Chains A and B, each alone.
Chain A
Amino acid sequence: MGITRRNLLRGTAATLAVAGTGFSTQLLAGQKTVKIGLNIPMTGDYAPWGLPGLYGCEIVANNINAAGGVEIGGETYMIEPVGYDHGYDTEKAIIGYKTLIGDDASMIMMLGGSTVGAILGRAQRGKKMVTTLLPSDITPDTPNLVAPSESHPLYNATGVEWLKENFPELKTAVIVTTNDIEYGQQSAAVYQAAFEAAGIEVLDTNFHGFDVTDFAPIVQGLLSNKPDVFCMATDVYTTPLVEALYNANFQGKIVSCTLDLYEEVIAKTSKEFVEGIVFQFPDFDDPALNSAQIQFPDPSGFWDTFQKDYPGQWSAVAWQYPAILTNWVTAAQAAGSIEPMDVLAAMKGNPNPPHTFGKAKWWGSQLYGQDNCVVGDWPVVTMQDGRARIVEFRSVLDWLDRNNDILKRKMQDLGLRTV
């Protein structure tokens, strides 16, 4: 019997307990192994967006291997994630790419941005498959680059949409973000478009560098506009920003892309203050992730294992690289091959690509010149009694269908590349 995606998910879930009892993948030594490369930052400022993903991949791979591996083209393979730390340095990213390809990695997963740009030419020429978490890396000239998991930052629109529907009295907002093109400005453009689409006026957008040691002046400057909504468009500084809002006694709504390690935010502020903050990344023990539409193997079991093995390390990317890994397995099984271009063709050939949060489709030609990005439903998460809880899944595709022109205009206003 061939292993289908459904069987893979079932098998992975069923073997969590086995993995937990110490069943070692070494018992299966001697079988064929396929290597999946992660050319990611594991040190430096961007480490929170790399290392937790490797940990997550190791958990998922251990579970798959403990279940006997995966059958691809009549062969049984063990999965071996192999990490390379490029520290978000483009030269090291090239070395990492060469090292992992030299190590026969079948796919290279990357965070995105300039480090992806540094290796794309080689990947195209060498016919290698590379994934990114940033769809904005995709261009008409990069057919081998796909974003099959995260549609950063497009999903941010759903949080603003939900906020306006539930709090129609909100009229004004301010945005703060880092001034880099890859994350901060992309995210700001989506938030600006989302606020405009929701009829909320953006009073000010503050782009700051990575050298800020005190956020009080930035926050107090923005709050002098008396906004109804304070929006944090990137992740790195959410804790000191929320702390500065708390110190300034901000009474309005807070919307953010992420709220990683929110326990620390609560410790610096209060449970009452963070109540109702809207963001986009759930804990994976969220009851809403037990619904039938979710396409991630045993989210709560994955969460428990991660928290036990890597306490305090969970970030938004912890499940995203593993989601790409499971997508790769599905595509490789459909292709009956582990050859990069065969897997890529099978992945792209699926009109209903697997997506962690449910139905999705290949999208992107409208903004990036190529439908190489999987976009679908995305959760809106709010803080409730000290825990992150999903309040609703909303369609990013529907929002894009209605508001793509606004988004394109906002991106162009900020000098960002669109087709």
Chain B
Amino acid sequence: MELFLQSIVNSIIQGGFFALWAVGLVLIFGVMGVVNFAHGELVMIGAYTVWLLHAQNDVPFLLAVPIAIILAMMIGLLMERFLFRPNRTDPLAGLICSIGVLFILQVVAHEVGGTGPAKQVAPPFSEIIQVGEYLRIPSQRLFSLAVALSALGVLWYFLTQSKLGWALRAVALDREASALQGININRISMIAIGVGAAMAGLAGGLMAPLQNITPHMGHNVIITAFIVTIVGGVGSLSGAVAAAFIYAAFHTFVTTYFNGTIATILGLLIMVVVLIIKPTGIMGVKVSE
């Protein structure tokens, strides 16, 4: 029972991170039609920023994370303005540009942090909360989960309750029809990548105290984000969030009770099965040509 309960908690915390990784990717793809391979590196930049500011220069964690968000957002905006927008008619060009950005950001991280051991950030919230007889939840993880869920909530509110959010969803559904309705596609694209990159920066900042920080940490992020996005339904934000928590639970339980390598293999297998049985994902919709 102890292990089962602890695994549920681990699943929820991991699901929050997976969701933050995936929604940014989905948002950017939905609105701009670009598969942003550098999305994992935006997460990495968020983590590196917190390491540099908080761990190396004593900037308070609660200030370092917003700076990480802003930095990731600015990189995203620059990518949109100078790489994706000029190549809007060619999705392949956008994809290749994002791969180029991926390598550039890795090199920047090398230059900033050096090439030595993985960077570590001591958790600013170090207490461990004991719940009942069995559960032990580190407050840093609880804080990260609360912030991740809050961010997802704000994003949901923005998309469903604000005019900009409606415009963003409209562009995701049909770019040309939206333009005919007077929606500024350039502006909406900037907002989409800004929000998506900010989510990535937030995820990286929150994760910084919880794992090894390396220039290559984005690799695992992008693979997981793709699995979640495909299982959830490409272009579906609610699908991505649902898939994030389902995949996190699956991965956590298989890792705990069997083996992490098996969990990864089975996770990829699930993605393949979903693609075969329901190519639109669990919450995606089929769009006619």
Contacts and interface: CB of A to CB of B under 8 A. Distances in A.
Interface of A: 42-45, 47-48, 51-52, 179, 206-209, 211-214, 216-218, 220-221, 224, 236-237, 239-240, 247-249, 260-261, 264, 267-268, 312-313, 315
B136 A43 contact: no
A268 B110 CA distance: 23
A264 B213 CA distance: 13
Interface in B18-41: none
Most buried by A among B17, B116, B257: B116
B146 to A, nearest CB: 17
A287 B123 CA distance: 33
Contacts of B120: 239, 261, 264, 267-268
Given A51-B116, A211-B223, A240 B255 contact: no
Interface of B: 2-3, 6-7, 10, 13-14, 17, 110, 114-118, 120, 122-123, 128, 136, 138, 207, 209-212, 214-216, 219-221, 223-224, 251-253, 255-257, 259-261, 264
Contacts of B136: 247-249
Contact of B211 (A45, A214, A224, A247): A214
Contacts of B14: 213-214
Contacts of B214: 45
A44 B107 CA distance: 11
B4 to A, nearest CB: 10
B117 A221 contact: no
Contacts, number: 103
A43 B117 contact: no
A51 B115 contact: yes
A271 to B, nearest CB: 13
Given A218-B260, A240-B212, A47 B252 contact: no
Nearest to B254: A217
A220 B10 contact: yes
Chain B interface helix/strand/loop/mixed: helix
A221 B257 contact: yes
21 contacts: A45-B216, A48-B117, A208-B260, A209-B264, A214-B13, A216-B6, A217-B7, A217-B10, A217-B255, A220-B6, A220-B7, A237-B212, A239-B120, A249-B136, A260-B117, A264-B122, A267-B120, A267-B122, A268-B122, A268-B123, A313-B116
Given A48-B116, A221-B255, A248-B136, A239 B128 contact: no
A217 B212 contact: no
B256 A221 contact: yes
A46 to B, nearest CB: 10
B259 A208 contact: yes
Contacts of B256: 217-218, 220-221, 224
What are the nearest 7 A-B pairs in CB distance? A267-B122, A217-B255, A221-B256, A264-B120, A48-B117, A208-B260, A217-B256
Given A220-B7, A264-B122, A267-B120, A207 B261 contact: yes
A128 to B, nearest CB: 27
A213 B216 CA distance: 12
Contacts of B115: 42-43, 47, 51
A194 to B, nearest CB: 23
Nearest to B7: A217
B110 A43 contact: yes
B260 A44 contact: no
A47 B259 contact: no
A47 B10 contact: no
Given A224-B2, A268-B122, A312-B117, 18 more contacts: A43-B110, A43-B215, A47-B116, A48-B117, A52-B116, A179-B261, A206-B259, A207-B261, A209-B261, A211-B223, A213-B220, A213-B221, A217-B252, A218-B260, A220-B10, A237-B212, A249-B136, A313-B116
